[in-house]
Structure 1
Amino acid sequence: MSARASSAVSRRSTTKPSTATDPRVPRRFGLVGQEWRNQRNGILFISPWIIGFLVFSLGPMLASFYFSFTSYNVLKAPRWIGVQNYVNIFAHDPYLRTAVVNTLYLAVLGVSLGTLLSLVLAMLLNQRVKGIGIYRTLYYLPTMLPIVVSSFIFLLVLDPQFGVINNLLALFGIPGPGWLSSPDWSKPALIVLGLWGVGNSVVIYLAGLQDVPRHLMEAAEVDGAGWWRRLVHVTLPMLSPVIFFNVVLAIIAAFQNFVSIFFLTDGTGGPARSTVTWGLQIYTNAFVNGRMGYASAMSWIMFVIVLLVTLGLFRLGSHVVYYEGAEGNARRRR
């Protein structure tokens, strides 16, 4: 190429206007050219979710917030009563204490046992043995069943007279409890049902275990650390973000537990209201007693409680959860 041609190409390349300053390029919200098109296409792709969230989630949430300050039974127009619903819940609801105690019982004990069991199962399924894929599939299969089907199966398994568990206990001369027909054993029965569906957590823990750096385990083993020290000082710290994630989701699900309790007790919270929870009370007030405004107030109280518990867990997690890498450690120190 001649010197004249190369200089011409150089002049054209240096004088070409950039898209950031060229007035001919359309500008939208501070974005130009390809940036704007990418932004537009991204919004179009997620627009079905945005529309669904606005119509089916945010809209009903705002409506329930308004109804919580009204006397509303669906058949008549809502009548504004201010914070009276909230006052009645804390001052005059005869089942408030029972619902709170039962909900906390199922949440604390159920989440604790579920976390421990799923973590132990994940460690067992992380072993390199023949046919391990079959065992992993068997432990995950119960989670594929709808909760109604699982509840129906447990009605048969926990039957006081003909149930499988009580028949097995009878072989050893142990009288089986009444389970769902006994006020003392109804909540443990619900916890057993929850433990049966730990497959989702097991899969997540198993993925976290396989992501633990192998060189750390080998270094600890070379230093003479036994399996317990490797578990406490290597495996659990590296697995702490996964444990934190599962615990947060499990607590939120425990506070919202409704379907299994409704199915197993025919919506009564029996026997002797021993399985009445906050979620069941919301349903009873809204669709049985026709107090939709009162139920909306209960829903927002549950929302605030779950929000505060979740924020507290995140605050605690910043001190006990180990994030690998400089950025995570800096976050932990803060």
Structure 2
Amino acid sequence: MKKRREFLKTSLLGAAGLAVAPAWLHGAPNIIKSYNQNGSIINGVKIGCITYSFRQMKDQSAEAILGYINQAGISAVELMGDPAEEFVGKIPIGFNRMDLFMLMGKERNETITDDEKKDLEEMRAKIDSYNKEVATWREQADISKFEELRKMYEASGVEIYAFKPSTFGKLNTDGEIAYGMKAAKALGASHVTLEHPSDDQHTMKLGKMAEEIGISVAYHGHEQETFTFWDTALEQSPANALNLDVGHYIAAGNTDLMPLIEKQHSRIKSIHVKDRKNPENGKDNVIWGQGNTPIAEILNTMKANQYDFPATIELEYKIPSGSNPILEVQKCLDFCANALNA
């Protein structure tokens, strides 16, 4: 705890700390303007951020991520699993998961080299062994330790409204699933998020377990999202819900996003916001305002109808030269403010 307290004192840059802030923070008036105010509720619309947005930052500890959140001016987050679990005692995996995802992408695209294939095979072998060890740890973990993390975030003005650990898959034990849901409650989250498993039996199981524990399960999708994508899960349990990704929905070629939001608003727990182009324009993930996702319309619909689910910034476009994830999240927050104050 002593190291954590010392880290927070130095990384969460008080007013005097700006004099020794990193070079990129100097000359960044938008960040300094909103720095440490933690006010990302704009005209009644909660603007949050998934901590995945900071994945390119070197330090991925829960303490460091809190620093990034504060510096970006965000006051509510969807927290990824690894930083939270490692905070409470989970052994780190021992390699950068982004390297794994990169190699898996090359494998899918058939651009992987022989040496990279060997690296990928080694990582997968390590993951199999690691997952068994972690499953045992999770089933025995002290859930109350997540409350310590919640209190640290709350003390800095940050609400954790969603939690996304890798505990809800078909290969996870029932003990791991229950652990993930209970950890989310201890963090103060209203819901957990996960990729839709495309398995009706599994969404039924998750929904029923969530009902017993008293939390919601919000399913995320990519380009497989359609108007009826969530219908079965929603019918199975009142605990099942949507974590709608509006950018992926547009990139999939759908043209009924606004009717979907209007129909399902009471079952949406959070939305992921990014700007993607539609298929006719190449589907690219772009700087906000350059794509076909109607972000401003979505936000103003939320404001007009007083929808209380958060709009979650998910930074996925290529970061421009000379910038970094914190600056880009701040730009996305500024985009939301401009849209909601127009």
TM-score normalised per structure 2: 0.24
Larger proportion of helix: 1
Larger proportion of strand: 2
Higher relative contact order (CA 8 A, sep 6+): 1
TM-score normalised per structure 1: 0.25
